[in-house]
Structure 1
Amino acid sequence: MMEVGDTKCMCIPMIDMQKLEDNNDGEQQQQQYKKLREASEEWGCFRIMNHKISLTLMSEMKKVVRELLDLPIDIKKRNTEVIPNSGYVAPTEFSRFFEGLGIYDFGSPHSVDVFCSQLDIPPHQREIILMYTQAIHDLAIDLGRMLAKSVGLASDLFKGWSCHLRINKYNFTPQTVGSTALRMHTDSGFLTILQDDDNVSGLEFVDKSGAFVSIDPWPGTLLVNLGDIAKVWSNGRFCNVKHRVQCKEASIRVSIASFFLGPKEAEVEAPPELVDSEHPRQFVPFTYEDYRKLRLSINLHAGEALQFVRSHS
């Protein structure tokens, strides 16, 4: 079992998306790609600034999210699952102050329309949700290309991949301060883009020393963290960061998480360019769906399931 020390307060790496664009100065761009790779390897998480999602759209989407999470529970229950935990998640005995709604395959306008129809969402809010999901999907495609380029590859990651958007609400009270709202885990997929709460903190990442690092709000930026599939695809180079949510104040905390999981049908494996005598293949090929089911079946959620797909060659 991993031992963790006191929570630290420090800034995780900040990546400037504008400096990663192809029309920028070569040396400046090269330095930013080096910073992106180091953040992926050492932290498994980073913030992005100067992205293409407007502050207005982010603010409008957060307002819509709060209104949706305040709907009567009988309406929220209409948000049914496509895969486990992809629909409405109600508070439980073990997580009394957490609930969420989800849109599976949010890259498809049809999936967004189904979600909106389930909850009887009015046209204005539908338009905001559609604009936001399209913008996040486009941003992820850009990030996938940039992550591949950071390790010397030309690849359009995430095109045609499974994706899942989840809106989360934590109903923190004075009685819950100091407790864990979401247990320590890694994300099962490749990458998560998080629009965090602008005012209420609670998210903590685990650094290389095993200590929890408190991630304070930074309005206008987006948080990116890498999951188990990123570790497999990079042949062990990228870090699948462990993280949790703590209740630090008696307030409502709202976040929007966009998960980019894995190919819908193709197997996940490290590209041959990332495999050589110094870096032998660490994991056998597998589909994301099989891996997701494996994590659920063995009830291991902090990256331990990767030991069952390790290569023995």
Structure 2
Amino acid sequence: MPLPLEPSIDQVDLPVIDISEFLEDLDGEDLSQLRDHPLLAKLRKACKEWGLFYLVNHGIPVEILDKSQKASRDLLSMPIEVKDRVTTSKPIDSYYRSPNFETFGFPDTTKSDSIAQTCLKIWPEGNANFSETTEKYAVCVSKLSEKVTKMILLSLGLDAKAFYHSHFEKCTAKLHINGYSSEKKLIGEETLPSHADSACLTVLYQDDVGGLQIRSQEGEWFNVKPLSHSFVVNLGDSFKAWTNGGYRSAVHRVVCKGWINRMSIAFITTFPMEMEIWAPAELVDDNNPRRYKPFQYSLLKHEVQTNKEIKDRTTFLELFAGI
């Protein structure tokens, strides 16, 4: 029987970013007037120290969030033999399960029929409620993810609109519906090992069960308390490399909270597989020389997928360290 994890330090007061003042402005042509907004300093600090923050007053109606959570729980509660209809040779883009974790991956949600095609494998007769609910959620969070990315670019002192267009507009978007449990229900048991995402940016909606933890720069673990109807945004290794290491990638894990199963919905944006990740000249100077060699995102992804026994995925990014 696995031993419980060492008790983590209690929850930390992570940065809370209220995006309400930016929602309309981030759709404009000229974003230069936002560069001196005081909220950007708070966002910059969050990305430097944690690589993770809460997002509140995000503009997505509560009804959409609640309906999406219910639809996701209904999906996760289906019999295993039904879920396995979605399993393919690419588990990250279909259905995957381990004793403590399961996930439905909906690949490239930028394509209008992506979710519908997956639904047909589960429900050949169709399921309009799930399909419409999940597609509406994906559209809303996709727009929010774009706004958040532009805010982060602004916090770096960059021309957000220009850099979004040249580096992030062609990102692939994936939706994952995740379920966490423990067959032995051992409180404190790790249900998702510690790791940093290889992706660019994740916008995560979680239920109120709790269990998500983040590791500080000093190596200590803290609980990430659920904040009702908010999102948790975390940066991944590829974005860390793109910022020349200026911003962190959040090392996180999920631990078992007892008999109540945890659910989350992750909207993940990744650079195109063939894209060369190379920090812009604006983020490099004599005091902050280049930290990483240029590399294609596919190479980082390959290292993650072929070295699954290594739990702390931040080690993979160091393969590309040095010039």
What is the TM-score with the length of structure 2 in the denominator? 0.87
Counterpart in the other structure of 1:280: 289
Letter in 2 for 1:306: L
Give the 3 Å change call, closer, same or farther, for CA 254–22 of structure 1 in structure 2: closer
Counterpart in the other structure of 1:202: 211
Counterpart in the other structure of 1:7: 9
Once the two structures are superposed, residues 179-206 of structure 1 have per-residue CA deviations (whole angstroms, 9 ceiling, x without a partner) of: 11111100011111110112x1100000
Q: Which secondary structure state, in structure 2, belongs to the residue aligned with residue 255 of structure 1? A: strand
Contact 2:95 2:102 in 1 (8 A): yes
Q: Which secondary structure state, in structure 2, belongs to the residue aligned with residue 254 of structure 1? A: strand
Output the CA distance in 2 between the equivalents of 1:110 and 1:283: 37
**Matching residue within 193, 197, 213 for 2:203:** 193
* Residue segments in structure 1 that go unaligned for 5+ positions in a row: none
Output the CA distance in 1 between the equivalents of 2:86 and 2:122: 7
Counterpart in the other structure of 1:305: 316
Alpha-carbon offset, residue 218 of structure 1: 1.0
Please state if 1:246 is matched with 2:255: yes
Counterpart in the other structure of 2:60: 53
What is the TM-score with the length of structure 1 in the denominator? 0.90
Contact 1:173 1:249 in 2 (8 A): no
Q: Which secondary structure state, in structure 1, belongs to the residue aligned with residue 21 of structure 2? A: helix
**Matching residue within 194, 209, 213 for 1:184:** 194
Contact 2:181 2:256 in 1 (8 A): no
**Matching residue within 56, 70, 74 for 2:81:** 74
Output the CA distance in 2 between the equivalents of 1:32 and 1:255: 27
Percent identical across equivalent pairs?
30
Please state if 1:271 is matched with 2:277: no
User: What is the RMSD of the two structures over their aligned residues, measured on CA atoms?
Assistant: 2.1
Output the CA distance in 2 between the equivalents of 1:19 and 1:273: 27
Give the 3 Å change call, closer, same or farther, for CA 197–160 of structure 1 in structure 2: same
Output the CA distance in 2 between the equivalents of 1:277 and 1:20: 33
- Alignment size in residue pairs: 303
Q: Which secondary structure state, in structure 1, belongs to the residue aligned with residue 93 of structure 2? A: coil
Alpha-carbon offset, residue 78 of structure 1: 1.9
Counterpart in the other structure of 1:143: 148
Alpha-carbon offset, residue 239 of structure 1: 0.6
Contact 2:115 2:135 in 1 (8 A): yes
Alpha-carbon offset, residue 21 of structure 1: 4.5
* Residue segments in structure 2 that go unaligned for 5+ positions in a row: 1-5, 27-32
Q: Which secondary structure state, in structure 2, belongs to the residue aligned with residue 165 of structure 1? A: strand
Output the CA distance in 2 between the equivalents of 1:79 and 1:281: 42
Counterpart in the other structure of 1:113: 116
Larger mean CA deviation between 79-88 and 133-142 belongs to 79-88
Give the 3 Å change call, closer, same or farther, for CA 15–82 of structure 1 in structure 2: farther
Counterpart in the other structure of 2:133: 128
User: Equivalences for 1:61-100 in 2 at 5 Å?
Assistant: 61-81=68-88, 83-91=90-98, 96-100=99-103
Output the CA distance in 2 between the equivalents of 1:85 and 1:211: 29
Once the two structures are superposed, residues 74-124 of structure 1 have per-residue CA deviations (whole angstroms, 9 ceiling, x without a partner) of: 221122347442211123xxxx23212110111221212211212114112
Contact 2:100 2:192 in 1 (8 A): no
Counterpart in the other structure of 1:164: 174
